[in-house]
Amino acid sequence: MRRLDRSALRAMLKTGLENLFKDRDLMNAINVFPVADADTGDNLYHTFLPVYRELAAGKGDGGLKRLMAEALLPAARGNSGVIFSQYLFTFVRALEDKPEITARELAGGFAAASEEAYQSVQNPREGTMLTLMRTVAECAASSGPEDPPLEELFRKATARTRKALDETKDLLPACKKAGVVDSGALGFFLFFEGMGLGLEHRDIDTGRFDTPQSPGKTEESSSEFAWCVQWVLESESHLRKTYFDLLNPFGDSLVISDNGEYLSIHLHTSLPEEAEAVLASRGRIVRSKMDSLSAPSRSVEILTDTSVDLPPEIEARGEVRTVPFNLFVGEQAFLDRVEMSRGEFYRRLKETALLLKTSQPPPLAWLKAYEEGLKKARELLVFTLSSHLSGSHSSAEAAVRMLPEALRERVHVVDTLNVCAGAGLLVLQAMDLLRDGLPAAEVMAAMEQRKGRILASIFLDSMDQVVRGGRAPAAAGKIVRWTGVKPLVTLHGGTIVKAGALLSGRNGERKLVRRFMKTLEPGKTYSLGIVHTDNPDAADRLEHEIRRRFHPFTYIYKTAASPVLGAHAGSGAFALFALED
């Protein structure tokens, strides 16, 4: 292919953002520069989500530049988000009026975008996303006077940019000490790589990007300033140097992006009110946002029972504390995740003739977790398995009543009315709202509104464990074995209900995805959780099936299901859960 039309460019931008979104947690984990505040992935996700929603809904025909100006720059978050938004806005602006785009015109767009991104930063540092932006521009410009095939240009630039990404480990002292690449640079690489995949209609690699993930404390891991502040300013003057000179005395990490109508300004400072007063004298402040640069706030801590399945990266970092269910193998009891891992549970589920069962955490287990949590956090936000499926919610509420009266109002208990990743998606949205500064009571109110919107589809490979647990008659198990029919269930009002069946398990993942997609509302975007009960190959096939077709998912994760589901569904089950963004 030697020319792109606008429709192809929009599709490439969409695929680039999907590739960026998939490693959101990894970018958070390796974020050590300029401050180790574990938010680069979140900032880029929230920066680009409004634009992605428009692209996923098939919008943007009225002009990509207008879309970027209205949906992108005002939403930019964090140092990387402001720089990246300026880059993408300039890139699109350079190509907006061209009905067809050649390699030379793409090179011109990359060059203009890179130059504008550098100019948006008061003190540009090599080893950041700026270096990769320049690398792409230089590689595209070196293609010569003839227009090469666009696929060749992107492959060559992707390989050179990957090399530049690896070199960021040596260019920034903070990254070198931690042994990681720059998180913002990784975000840009993923976006550019995804554009190339979209150009060739190739699938996104569903695995985590291959890079070390063990950041340590560095000399540059904390800031001498107290606040990260962002403003959107409407002003007659758009001369960056004026604002650099005005704000330089107040702090560092000064970045200014410009869409011709508004300025998006990012600053690390200990004097946010004084800096804002200076800006207010120059124009109208349309929006402002302020986050602490000190150690992560513990004003609110999230607790769940172990029925809730979160992305493996979040579970590994211990961001959410858990209260374990009890697992029973015959008469022997184990604490879920404490005395028995998921892997060990599923091994026993396959090998033992004993009945495996679960029971909810007792009130005293919740009480102990509350007492420990309230020593560190002002408030606790608690998520439990559906009250229609377990007594865990009742135990959690009973434990609140066991607290001294003065502490009870500091604990907020949410009945998720769901299981596994369904509850996990709710927790992820709560974490996002808490990062945005909403108080715990408002987050709880939002979760109460959203929990009824969770969509679920669960495929049961057999009924054996359901029958052994007494939740279905023996005849049901025999019918499934004899006919090969595979039951589908979902959740309604917190209760598991029948949702039909597949006539066979052959291509079950494809059939489940096809059915599931019909339940999604057109024009909306969703986050997706994929779980399985000791069936990782099926989970991989589910993800591949989703990614190979048009899908409205901004975030996808997969994990082995909690034993709370496995004990009842048995081995081989898999499920999809979605929640509207």
Residue 475 is predicted with a pLDDT of: 56
Q: What are phi and psi of 113, to 5 degrees?
A: -65, -45
Give CA separation, 28 vs 36, 180, 278, 490, in Å: 9, 12, 32, 33
Domain boundaries, the chain: 4-199, 227-292, 300-451, 455-580
Question: Which pair of tokens denotes residue 466?
Answer: 């359901």
Helices (H) then strands (E): counts for the chain: 24, 19
Please, which residues bridge with residue 290 across strands?
229
Q: Quick one: fold of 227-292?
A: Alpha-Beta Plaits (3.30.70)
Distance CA 228, CA 232 (A): 14
Cα torsion 413, 415, 419, 424: sign: negative
From CA 475, how far away is CA 481, in angstroms rounded? Answer: 10
Query: Angle formed by the axes of helices 6-21 and 40-56, to 10°?
Result: 150
CA contacts within 13 A on the Cβ side of 374: 17
> How many other C-beta atoms can be found within 10 angstroms of the C-beta atom of residue 94?
20
How far is the CA of 297 from the CAs of 26, 310, 379, in angstroms?
A: 21, 21, 11
pLDDT of residue 505: 59
**In CATH, 4-199 is 3.40.50.300:** no
Kindly state the tokens that stand for 454. 């969770």
pLDDT of residue 152: 93
* Lookup: tokens for 483: 């006919």
Q: Phi/psi at 290 (nearest 5 deg)?
A: -140, 130
Helix axes 363-376, 392-402, angle to 10 degrees: 60
Low pLDDT (below 50) residues in the chain: 216-220, 295-297
Three-state SS at 538: helix
With beta carbons less than 8 A apart as the criterion, state whether 97 and 66 touch. no
- Kindly report, residue by residue over 419-434, the tens digit of the pLDDT: 999 999 999 999 999 9
CATH number of 455-580: 3.30.1180.10
Copy the structure tokens of residue 34. 């300029």
* Domain at 300-451: CATH code: 3.40.50.10170
Does residue 336 contact residue 563 with C-beta atoms inside 8 Å? yes
Going from the C-alpha of 275 to that of each of 205, 290, 349, 532, the distances in angstroms are 44, 12, 61, 51
Q: Which helix (H) or strand (E) holds 290?
A: strand 284-292
Give first-to-last CA distance, the chain, whole Å. 35
Write out the two tokens for 129: 């996303």
Q: Which of 427, 339, 52 is nearest to 348 (CA)?
A: 339
pTM over 0.75: no
Hey, CA dihedral for 537, 539, 545, 549, is it positive or negative?
A: negative
Tokens of 217: 């404390």
> Residue 71 carries which DSSP code?
I
Q: Where are the alpha helices (DSSP H) in 250-320?
A: 272-280, 312-317
Q: Do the first three CATH levels of 4-199 and 455-580 match, i.e. the same topology?
A: no
| DSSP secondary structure of 95-136 | HTT-SEE-HHHHHHHHHHHHHHHHHTBSS--TTSHHHHHHHH
Q: What is the pLDDT of residue 85?
A: 94
